[in-house]
Amino acid sequence: MSSREAYLYEPLGSQPRPKSRWRELMCSPTRWTAVLIIVVLSLSSIALLTLQTTWQWPWKSSSVVPKIFPTTDDISIPHGAEGPAPYPPAPQDAKQLGQTVYHPFVAPLPAQAIADTRVRPIRAQLELSDACLDRWVSSGQWTDPCTRAMVSEAKIDLVYVWVNGSDILHQAARKTLLAELKYRTKDARFREHDELRYSLRAARAATKMWPNSTWHVITADVPNPHVALESREADEEEVDILESLADSISEDDDQEAEEPEPEPENRLGLVPQWLDIECAIHGDETQPPIRLQHDTQLFRLTGSPGTKLTAKDSSEWLERILPSFNSHAIESQLPQLDPELVSENIVALNDDQFMLLPMPPAAFHTTLYGPVLRTDPGLLVGGDATGKADGGGEWRSLGWSDHLLNQRFGSRKRPYMQHNARSLSLPLMHEAALAFGEYFARTPLSQFRGSHKVPEEFEVNTIFLTGHFMVERHREALLYSWVVLKWDGYVEGMWRDLGGKDGETTIKFDDAAERTTRDDVELNLLMAGVVPPKVEDDHEQGDTTYTWTSMDGYSPRFNSLLPSVSLPRSCLERQSDSWSLFRHLLLEDPACGDQVISALIHKQRSGLGAFLPAATASSSDGDDDPETNPDPLTLPLVLTSNPPALPSNPRRFAVRLIQRYAHVLGDSPTLFVGLHSATDTQRNLRMADTTPATALFCMNDDMSNNAATLRAADKILKTWFEGRWPEKLRCEV
């Protein structure tokens, strides 16, 4: 399939479970000795490796035993600080080289390749009044004063990541780097079945209801062939090809290429050959504009929070990470998408993912409930810092990402994000990429997926990490609001607030909390003027159920309220001050924190009012005015050992903080199939046809390299595609 090799999909639940083998090993003394020797050897080799690879770059931890999250106190969120040098978008002009059309652009200069470290507000939330948001968060009801502040349907952009693996320049660049790194990719997973064309045609039909959408197609890019000819030894056949391509470049490009250091670098972005890109950048009422961006344009250096990065840092970094043929690396830069070009609500797709039915925007995003994550609660990912899991697929990055979340938010297993169209919040992805800055910067050190296997420098899984970051920041906001802002760590008050009696040591609720949250979704959305995600006829429209919303707090089960609560008083008594208690409940004893949240959820039938501090009387001197006296948007990105300054208006701060991380765990009829052969392809496509409620469909090319099989499968696919989506896109040639 033409999607990057990286979208290899492991069958769910196929992870080996090493537990019992360990137990077996631990029972025999001789094995014990062997294990000890292995442990000592591997520890010393890790130590050696770490020593050897100790660079002084800011995005590289320099200590032998890396402290994942420093608890220094000099980390503040830059407020009003200047952003990095701007990188204006390239005009979308097409350029013909031989038979092929490319999109020429200029790569960012190092000074432009530094991430903007300013945490961003969520614009749609800024438009809501304090009074409305307070009512909404505290009661979970979209009623007066909210009815008047109607929100609109979320503006959602689609973001596709695509490469044409058959492109001759791309193949040449890939081959060169593979030889240089002496690395082998598992398989030529760059096959093209023309999926992008039909995935976009499907999207046009499926997103008719979405207002003001733009489609962004992020494609690979290649060096200008003139530069390629000069800078490396190509084999004869390649030289011929490159020369003939170079010949077709116009005069002025020739002159540019003769300069010793072409700076800034001119590159060519890959273009879907069936698309007139100069036409497609303009949308009309039938179809959103299609904007091309390219991998090399996205890379922005991040460091650990508080680090000041220079153009020299980013220049060294770019030197090591480009070109990139690793989709994890490309995805790690999605948080860096230009917020001037891309909406704050996005749905990310690969070209092998298809929206089969029209779906309302609320199936993906609403201002009330936030982005809709589709997780698989049956497939839990545990933290793993060893890097032993398969690096060619997703599992090494998943284990590493969960490990990072564990260090920051407390240890637990977290559900896998389904491999299909994914709702993401750009400002929150950006915040996550800043919070885990050094790890995002290390991800593209693997220029091919899994190729850089150095401890602490594994790839992050951006979808998993940023999605769960939002869930955890919401939990953090609830605990901070209740422990620090409402009670300032006053144990007696907290105990009574939870329903505890004097002399008792445990609070117990034998049943799940009685909440109306799920039943309220539809009415709330209708009151706000938003089309609900649950549909009348699930053959006409794709149906979505909100299985969990953050309006019910936090659930370690991810899809239901806890069936009971048992909260010992000792959970609250271990710490002397409110910030330490907050840290304790957040990170050190997350089970206690979960019990506290669940107990508070029992206090109301809907809303999160139990977590909020009392409203302060509004002061008349304007101190309370968010314009003149802004509180930060968020809590610090790292968990500091000392508390941040208290907000000027605790309740307003808490309400906005909690709403910032609002999210939904949702479920839609989804089909994921692997295509192994022609008959298999036929059967799987028929399955999609005979389950007419299927809203989201992903087909994964698992076929061998047999030419006859591929031809046959291609024909079947083409027939199916054309049958389903016969109508050309605007600007499709």
Interaction between residue 272 and ligand NAG (CB under 6 A) = yes
Q: Strand 221-223 and strand 266-270: pairing? A: antiparallel
Q: What is the smallest separation between the CB atom of 354 and ligand NAG, expressed in angstroms?
A: 16
The one segment of 86-94, 248-256, 267-275, 351-359 that binds ligand NAG by CB under 6 A: 267-275
Q: What is the smallest separation between the CB atom of 383 and ligand NAG, expressed in angstroms?
A: 39
* Residue among 127 and 623 whose Cβ is closer to ligand NAG: 127
* Residue among 18 and 89 whose Cβ is closer to ligand NAG: 89
Q: What is the smallest separation between the CB atom of 182 and ligand NAG, expressed in angstroms?
A: 27
Task: Looking at residues 111 to 130 of the shown chain, list those that interact with ligand NAG (rule: CB under 6 A).
Answer: none
* Residue among 212 and 566 whose Cβ is closer to ligand NAG: 212
Q: What is the smallest separation between the CB atom of 708 and ligand NAG, expressed in angstroms?
A: 20
Q: What is the smallest separation between the CB atom of 275 and ligand NAG, expressed in angstroms?
A: 8
Give the DSSP per-residue string, 517-570: HHHHHHHHHHHHT---SS-S-TTTS---EEEEEGGG---TTSSS--S-EEEETH
Out of 54, 62, 143, 166, the only residue in the binding site for ligand NAG (CB under 6 A) is 166
Q: In this structure, is the dihedral angle defined by the CA atoms of residues 124, 409, 310 and 224, taken in order, positive or negative?
A: negative
Q: What is the smallest separation between the CB atom of 185 and ligand NAG, expressed in angstroms?
A: 18
Scanning 210-250, the segments in alpha helix (DSSP H) are: 225-231, 236-247
Nearest to 547 by CA among 514, 512, 525, 518: 518
* Residue among 195 and 313 whose Cβ is closer to ligand NAG: 195
The single-letter DSSP state of residue 264 is S
What token pair was written down for 621? 């001197």
Long-range contact list for 86-89, CB < 8 A, 24+ apart?
86/112, 87/112, 87/297, 87/338, 89/293, 89/338, 89/341
Residue 573 belongs to what H/E stretch? Answer: helix 570-573
What is the rounded CA–CA span in Å between residue 209 and residue 225?
A: 43
Task: Looking at residues 302 to 361 of the shown chain, list those that interact with ligand NAG (rule: CB under 6 A).
Answer: none
The phi-psi region of residue 503 (left if phi > 0; otherwise alpha if psi is between -120 and 50; otherwise beta) is left
Interaction between residue 719 and ligand NAG (CB under 6 A) = no
Interaction between residue 211 and ligand NAG (CB under 6 A) = yes
Q: What is the smallest separation between the CB atom of 148 and ligand NAG, expressed in angstroms?
A: 20
Residue 651 belongs to what H/E stretch? Answer: helix 650-660
* Residue among 99 and 250 whose Cβ is closer to ligand NAG: 99
Q: Strand 664-667 and strand 545-549: pairing? A: antiparallel
* Residue among 159 and 483 whose Cβ is closer to ligand NAG: 159
Q: Strand 156-162 and strand 215-219: pairing? A: parallel
What is the rounded CA–CA span in Å between residue 4 and residue 728?
A: 25
Q: In this structure, is the dihedral angle defined by the CA atoms of residues 587, 591, 596 and 602, taken in order, positive or negative?
A: positive
Q: What is the smallest separation between the CB atom of 589 and ligand NAG, expressed in angstroms?
A: 45
Query: Do 185 and 334 contact (CB within 8 A), yes or no?
Result: no
Nearest to 329 by CA among 300, 293, 307: 300
**What is the pattern of x (binds ligand NAG, CB under 6 A) and - over residues 591-610?**
--------------------
Out of 54, 273, 386, 719, the only residue in the binding site for ligand NAG (CB under 6 A) is 273
Q: What is the smallest separation between the CB atom of 335 and ligand NAG, expressed in angstroms?
A: 22
Q: What is the smallest separation between the CB atom of 105 and ligand NAG, expressed in angstroms?
A: 17
Interaction between residue 219 and ligand NAG (CB under 6 A) = no
* Residue among 43 and 733 whose Cβ is closer to ligand NAG: 733
* Residue among 170 and 430 whose Cβ is closer to ligand NAG: 170
Burial class (CB in 10 A: 0-12, 13-18, 19+), 682: middle
Q: In this structure, is the dihedral angle defined by the CA atoms of residues 164, 170, 176 and 180, taken in order, positive or negative?
A: negative
What is the rounded CA–CA span in Å between residue 104 and residue 269?
A: 6
Q: What is the smallest separation between the CB atom of 272 and ligand NAG, expressed in angstroms?
A: 5
Query: Do 469 and 349 contact (CB within 8 A), yes or no?
Result: no
Interaction between residue 564 and ligand NAG (CB under 6 A) = no
Interaction between residue 168 and ligand NAG (CB under 6 A) = yes
* Residue among 262 and 272 whose Cβ is closer to ligand NAG: 272
The one segment of 14-22, 129-137, 268-276, 439-447 that binds ligand NAG by CB under 6 A: 268-276
**What is the pattern of x (binds ligand NAG, CB under 6 A) and - over residues 44-83?**
----------------------------------------
Nearest to 140 by CA among 605, 663, 613: 605
Interaction between residue 96 and ligand NAG (CB under 6 A) = no
Q: What is the smallest separation between the CB atom of 595 and ligand NAG, expressed in angstroms?
A: 43
What is the rounded CA–CA span in Å between residue 183 and residue 457?
A: 18
Interaction between residue 192 and ligand NAG (CB under 6 A) = yes
The residue type found at 204 is R
CA dist 611 → 139, 317, 607 (Å): 11, 43, 9
The one segment of 270-278, 409-417, 465-473, 644-652 that binds ligand NAG by CB under 6 A: 270-278
* Residue among 282 and 320 whose Cβ is closer to ligand NAG: 282
Classify 172 as helix, strand or coil: helix
Query: Do 263 and 276 contact (CB within 8 A), yes or no?
Result: no
Interaction between residue 545 and ligand NAG (CB under 6 A) = no
Nearest to 664 by CA among 529, 524, 564, 563: 524
Q: What is the smallest separation between the CB atom of 245 and ligand NAG, expressed in angstroms?
A: 11
Q: What is the smallest separation between the CB atom of 704 and ligand NAG, expressed in angstroms?
A: 21
Q: What is the smallest separation between the CB atom of 171 and ligand NAG, expressed in angstroms?
A: 9
Q: What is the smallest separation between the CB atom of 160 and ligand NAG, expressed in angstroms?
A: 12
The one segment of 67-75, 112-120, 159-167, 427-435 that binds ligand NAG by CB under 6 A: 159-167
* Residue among 362 and 665 whose Cβ is closer to ligand NAG: 362
The one segment of 163-171, 377-385, 483-491, 603-611 that binds ligand NAG by CB under 6 A: 163-171
Out of 35, 78, 95, 100, the only residue in the binding site for ligand NAG (CB under 6 A) is 100
Query: Do 190 and 165 contact (CB within 8 A), yes or no?
Result: yes
* Residue among 277 and 637 whose Cβ is closer to ligand NAG: 277
Q: What is the smallest separation between the CB atom of 338 and ligand NAG, expressed in angstroms?
A: 16
Interaction between residue 167 and ligand NAG (CB under 6 A) = yes
Interaction between residue 212 and ligand NAG (CB under 6 A) = yes
Residues in the interface with ligand NAG (CB under 6 A) total: 12
Query: Do 666 and 533 contact (CB within 8 A), yes or no?
Result: yes
Place of tokens 């009151």: 527
State phi, psi for 33 to the nearest 5 degrees: -60, -45
Interaction between residue 384 and ligand NAG (CB under 6 A) = no
Nearest to 81 by CA among 125, 124, 129, 114: 114
| Chain centroid, CA 504 distance in Å | 44
What is the rounded CA–CA span in Å between residue 348 and residue 335?
A: 12
* Residue among 160 and 509 whose Cβ is closer to ligand NAG: 160
Q: Strand 375-381 and strand 266-270: pairing? A: unpaired
Query: Which residues lie near ligand NAG (CB under 6 A)?
Result: 100, 164, 166-168, 192, 194, 211-212, 272-274
